[in-house]
Structure 1
Amino acid sequence: MAMSTDTEAHDVEDVYYDPYDVVLNANPYPMFGRLREEAPLYYNAQHDFYALSRFDDVDKGLVDHATFSSARGIILELIKANLDIPPGLLIMEDPPIHDIHRKLLARMFTPRKIAALETQIRDFCAESLDPLIGTGHIDFVADLGAQMPMKVISMLLGIPEDDQEFIRDHTNRQMRTEAGKPMDHEHGLATGEIFAAYIDWRAEHPSDDIMTELLNVEFVDETGATRRLTRDELLIYLNVVAGAGNETTTRLIGWAGKVLAEHPDQRRELVDDPALIPQAIEELLRFEPPAPHAARYVARDVSFHGQTVPEGSVMMMLIGAACHDPRQFGSDSEEFNIHRPLRQHLAFSVGTHFCLGSALARLEGRVALEELLKRFPEWDVDLANARLSPTSTVRGWESMPASTP
């Protein structure tokens, strides 16, 4: 169905959202607020996408995979490129095949397995933070955020320490964009060849890690056949886990450094009562979600706010806007408040694609904050020298330097 000529509902003058706009992305929340109120279904003609910004719309849209498909990618430029997405790229699949692949990976992230990691995560934090005591400075990203999640995910995958930084930088590079430019999808869908040598070695030397488990797991695929994963599927799985396991927790820790510096009274409460930290992590995720949007292919005509979005369109689900919606979070939704009554946020998405690693991310965030605040109850961030990451898909800091008394 063609676009309605009644454009007032979504083409409001000077209400503008562009995921590649560097200035806008530095603080998108004022514009997100205008989108929610003035253009709850927004259309961007330049990049040809629609966007939803209200909590209920985004919540329902993320759950409705029959209308909003992930199978062509979840990033605007990937959907536009109309590529063949290789099987096993979990975040870019719909049920039923998604459910088969997800079930396999879910075995790696059971609550028991995650809980068993706490001591090691604490040790990794101590390794990163202890050398900084007395130096007067810390970079929340370089010194902790980029180190600890990498060590945890590498331990899970069985990647030797000598190669961990190389793997992390490689998977992060795949998400990188030049400031203000789309992702280079030619290089953005690598099949994880970087892990090939480990797979071959691990096949000969089994261990208690995800790689060994995935090498040996048998499952019923979408054709009804019982089989093991192919080498290509395995490579893609490992790429997904390595990328997802590094980038978002890194950004969460960077945001914690900035936001808590700007709210010293709440930071002091966390120092005095660490039992408040899990709630603070939820509020940080809501207040500055590291993945601020997810794109979907519109598989059938759908209507929002009196407008029809035609089949074949791209819909951006603005998670960052939804997480600040006063309809869900109250009149103080634009404020950071560790005592906010817990309500569902969308930082880990929802429905079929609810983040598999959410329990791990929460655990890493909690332990990182506990260990940070134990050693550094106060700090001031150096925003003049902080650098925002250039990816259009993940929003956070590349560097967040701070001084510690």
Structure 2
Amino acid sequence: MSDLYYDPWDFDIDLDPYPTYRRLRDERPVYYNERHDFWGVSRYADVDAALKDTTRLSSAKGDILEVVMADPVMPPGIFINEDPPLHTIHRAIVSRAFTPKKMRAIEDKIRAFCVACLDPLVGGDRFDFVVDLGAELPMRTIGMLAGIPDAEQPAVREHANEVLRNEAGKPMKIKKDQYFRGDMFGEYVDWREKNPSDDLITELLDVEFEDETGTTRKLTKQELVVFLAVVAGAGVETTGRLFGWMGKVLAEHPDQRKELAQDHTMIPMAIEELLRFEPPGPHVARYVATDDVTFQEQVVPAGSALLMMLASANRDERHFEDPDRFDIHRKPGGHLTFGRGAHFCVGSPLARLEGRVALEEVLKRWPEWDIDMAGATRSRTSTVRGWDTMPANLS
């Protein structure tokens, strides 16, 4: 048996990481990578505990492994890269955009975007789950929420896509002194100040809150611009990857796809199982801040970078029965794809809504399809796992 090795930048491992994850869980549940100097946890119980531990495991250096290791200068407003109490304050502001009431209000618009993507393809013999849907629907939805003009939306998508790319086998290059900037959103903010509307930018311009010093104030332009960059990046890139897996996994399970086509009430459960089975964001990272932490009697020293393997936890047989089986009848809940605790994904209601509406609309038009795997291309990114194309041949 070969020596056990894992890193998230190894493209061969990433093509099908699940056998490696299984070995990690069984043989080295607390793993140290000497080449890149990081630790990793792969079992459900350990990943779950690590996600909830905001006291010893800090997000302040980032939540992407190579960012944590580079320790860049963080501008204010990257709420996903903050710890409580600052994170709590900023998250509460952003979460206003994703309330159940807001989701109900935008469902019809998301469906209209979806119909506009799919209807021109009806009658044809090909449809690409990523190019025709995954690249379009999340971009249009975030554009609508944030008030970004239609003509500008592809640039936002390209930027979100570009910043997460890495050369095969190598970590992303991180600029230590200017890691995260939302420059491209500055002009939208300026324009919205003069032309308020019913969108997230206008809402964030008006919001007053008490900051960590006890001062009641509005967001600075820098905070607002970075907020938008975070929401757009997460909303476009990770949600977009879900659609490629949707096409592939359901083509591989035609009996379950047939059930969904006949009974749309099962679609929310299918989306949950899809998120567990092939999570678009397979891992997140933390920095071991003050004290050593211990998992499985193994000490991870303070000052370490720690990788939490969400995709491995989602396939841990210690927690899930027959975890390598895709099963739309599986009791929903329990997967760690959206995280846990204080940093639970604020946009998860939107991702679920887009996934459900998209699958409903696809199945209305094409209850059956076959995937052209020879024409499918993987996206080379270490932080988001998915496809750049996933073409389907339509029955």
What TM-score do you get using the length of structure 1 for normalisation? 0.95
1:124 is aligned to: 113
2:261 aligned with 1:246: no
Deviation, 1:16, is 1.2
Instruction: Output aligned runs, 1:226-237, within 5 Å.
Output: 226-237=216-227
2:221 aligned with 1:197: no
2:303 aligned with 1:312: yes
SS of corresponding position for 1:245: helix
Could you tell me which of 124, 138, 146 is aligned with 1:135?
124
Instruction: Output aligned runs, 1:67-216, within 5 Å.
Output: 67-186=56-175, 189-216=179-206
Question: Aligned AA for 1:305?
Answer: Q
Q: Deviations over 1:2-53 (max 9, x none)?
A: xxxxxxxxxx961111110001001000110111111111111001111101
Deviation, 1:110, is 1.1
Q: Deviations over 1:177-232 (max 9, x none)?
A: 22222112129833211011111111000001000011111111111111111111
Question: Aligned AA for 1:83?
Answer: P
Question: Aligned AA for 1:103?
Answer: A
Question: Aligned AA for 1:293?
Answer: H
Distance 1:123 1:244 in 2: 22
Q: Deviations over 1:332-378 (max 9, x none)?
A: 10110101122411010111110001011000000000000000111
SS of corresponding position for 1:185: coil
Q: Deviations over 1:61-116 (max 9, x none)?
A: 00001111110111121111121211110111110000010011011111100111
Structure 1 residues 386 and 224, CA gap change in structure 2 (3 angstroms): same
Question: Aligned AA for 1:197?
Answer: E
Distance 2:193 2:72 in 1: 31
Equivalent residues of 2:267, 2:356 under 8 A apart: yes
Question: Aligned AA for 2:330?
Answer: R
Equivalent residues of 2:276, 2:335 under 8 A apart: yes
Distance 2:21 2:139 in 1: 32
Equivalent residues of 2:138, 2:235 under 8 A apart: yes
Equivalent residues of 1:329, 1:343 under 8 A apart: no
Equivalent residues of 2:72, 2:175 under 8 A apart: no
Distance 1:180 1:164 in 2: 31
2:282 aligned with 1:267: no
Question: Aligned AA for 1:234?
Answer: L
Distance 1:399 1:223 in 2: 48
1:4 is aligned to: none
Structure 1 residues 360 and 343, CA gap change in structure 2 (3 angstroms): closer
Could you tell me which of 42, 47, 56 is aligned with 2:45?
56
Q: Deviations over 1:146-183 (max 9, x none)?
A: 10110011000001111111111112211222222211
Q: Runs (4+) of structure 1 moved beyond 4 Å?
A: none
Q: Deviations over 1:291-324 (max 9, x none)?
A: 1011110122111222211100111000000000
Distance 1:180 1:264 in 2: 34
- Unaligned stretches of 5+ residues in structure 2: none
Deviation, 1:257, is 0.3
1:378 is aligned to: 368
Deviation, 1:327, is 1.3
Instruction: Output aligned runs, 1:317-356, within 5 Å.
Output: 317-330=308-321, 332-356=322-346
2:282 is aligned to: 292
Question: Aligned AA for 1:328?
Answer: H
2:391 is aligned to: 401
